[in-house]
Amino acid sequence: MLDYNKKYAIEAILFVAGEEIHLKKIAQGVNLSVEDAKKLINELSEEYDESKRGYEILRANDYYQLASRKWYADIIVEVFENKRRGVLSQSALEILSIVAYRQPITRVLIDEYRGVNSSGTIQRLVDQNLIEVVGRLEVPGRPNLYGTTNQFLKSLGIPSLDELPSFDLFKETADLTDEEKEFLNQKKE
Amino acid sequence: MDYKLRVEDFEGPLDLLLFLISEKKINIIEVSISEITEQYINHIKKWQSMDLEIASDFIVMASRLLEMKSKLILPIDSDEENQEDLHKKFLSNLIYYKIFKVCSVYIGEKVNHLNNFYKDPEYIPEIMDAGDEEVYINSIELELKFLRLLKLRELEDKHWSKPIEVPLERFSVQEKIDYISKKLENQKYLRFSELFTDKPCQEEVVTSLLALLELYKVNEIIINQENNFGEIQVFKKDI
């Protein structure tokens, strides 16, 4: 039986951290193995969900964060008006989608997918912490490679990239004709 | 009904192309390049007052379309494969753009409306003087930082497919300019073939030619060639 006090110690850690914190640091803080700490966090998370508390635990890869529950976002926006996050533009969303499904990716390739120069919008997405530079491509000029951030996962409400809907799903929703689908399949070979 | 489409209605050239294709209610694959090129160009002609930066993206696409169209018309056998590649790339570009558009709607719904979460206010971190002071860091943090570095390294390795050759620049235009000017101080004229070493490589010949053109441009030399493919003679211009 796990120690219940440790569960609420974790709650305290998450509360004080405010931002995302790595599972290992939490485990070290309460002197538990990573697995046990994870178990307690999940229990805590279920507790919050069941009682519809004002906050919830978000997970992005191995990071956890205590945040206000998304249902209450409208209320929060009204109280703290200055914290409203800007709505993303169509071009920002296109870039975000391309980076999400093709990462790590260079700006040049993003431009090619869109047929337009994307550098300004890419920088805005970096400033908004939705994408980040994850490395450099070893070709002349060493261009930046972009990938999505934990912030992106949390905004989307998924704990890891594995839980993004598969790209094939969008092929279905995009209403491609059979000929178009076949063309894409041929190209892969 | 007559309605006007503005450049702002489109995210870019691919968006406009998809729109033109959808109006015809046909497959992307079935699109006739020459037809679509014509429509596309007619469309952007109406947007004379386009923002220059936006315009350039649309014009690049127009030139791409024209290139494809011209290659379709010209019966050049050796280039056939190339042309087919160009066409295929264009089609897959269009199809992928169509998919990513749907994808961005999904991501937009999620990010813009559903999942706004808020956290504690952020604290402004203390600015540390990065001198020789001791740094306090615990082992977990160190490990996490190290793992992150390893991950970065791994990503870079993944893209290190083959080494890239960066050619050494053995000849510079400026050097050749100096060389030619110096020679012309002692000689009445120079023959083009005199400008190189015994066994010139392509790079040296090109650099020499560029140096000549530059000297000609700044009005320091006169270039003369008696007949086609004959020897080029270089004279110093009398001042």
Whole-number Å distance between alpha carbons of A33 and A182: 50
How many Å from the N-terminal Cα to the C-terminal Cα in chain A?
54
Chain A CB contacts of B121 under 8 Å are 18
Q: Chain B contact for A61, CB < 8 A? A: no
Place of tokens 């920088």: A123
Nearest CA in chain B to A104: B155
What separation in angstroms does the CA of B105 have from each of A86, B20, B109, B208?
16, 20, 6, 56
Q: Find residues 148-167 of chain A whose CB sits inside 8 Å of chain B.
A: 154-157, 165, 167
- A183 to chain B, closest Cα gap in Å: 8
Q: Determine the residue of chain B that is closest to A26 in CA distance.
A: B140
Q: Which is nearest to B66 in space by CA: B89, B103, B38?
A: B38
Q: Two tokens at B50?
A: 């386009």
Among A80-94, B110-124, B166-180, whose mean pLDDT is lowest? Answer: B110-124
**For A135, which of B14, B100, B156 is closest by C-beta distance?**
B156
Q: Is the CB of residue B67 less than 8 Å from the CB of residue B85?
A: no
| pLDDT digits 0-9 by tens, A118-152 | 888 999 889 888 899 999 988 888 899 999 998 88
Give A103's contacts in chain B (Cβ within 8 Å).
none
Cα distances (angstroms) measured from residue B95 to each of A102, A103, A175, B30: 15, 19, 11, 12
A56: amino acid identity, one letter: E
Share of chain B above pLDDT 70, in %: 77
Sole residue written with tokens 């011209």: B70
Three-state SS at A48: helix
The residue among B124 and A150 whose pLDDT is bigger is: A150
Contact B98, B105 (CB under 8 A): no
A170–chain B Cβ distance below 8 A for any pair: yes
Measure the CA–CA gap between A141 and B56, rounded to whole angstroms. 23
Place of tokens 């004959």: B230
Say if residue A104 is preceded by a cis peptide, omega within 30 of 0.
yes
Say whether pLDDT at A11 is over 90.
yes
> Do B115 and A155 lie within an 8 Å CB cutoff?
yes
Q: Does the pLDDT value for residue B132 go beyond 80?
A: no
Q: What CA–CA distance (Å, rounded) separates A4 from B155?
A: 41
Q: Enumerate residues 6+ apart whose C-beta is below 8 A from B177.
A: B211, B214, B215
Identify all chain A residues contacting B111, using CB atoms and an 8 Å cutoff: 88, 93, 96, 130, 155-156
Task: Summarize the confidence of residues B122-143 as an average pLDDT.
Answer: 63
Q: Which of A157-161, A163-167, B79-83, B120-124 has the lowest mean pLDDT?
A: B120-124
- Read off the tokens for B183: 């020679």
A101 contact residues in B (CB cutoff 8 A): 100, 103
Predicted local distance difference test score (pLDDT) of residue A98: 95
ipTM for this prediction: 0.74
Integer CA distances (angstroms), A43 to A10, A40, A160, A163, B214, in order: 11, 5, 19, 21, 76
pLDDT in tens, A43-68: 999 999 999 898 889 898 999 999 88
Is the pLDDT assigned to residue B78 strictly greater than 80? no
Q: What is the DSSP string of A153-171?
A: HHHHT-SSGGGSPPHHHHH
pLDDT at B127 over 50: no
**Residue A140 or residue A98, greater confidence:** A98
A138 with B159: Cβ contact below 8 A: yes
pLDDT for the residue B113:
52
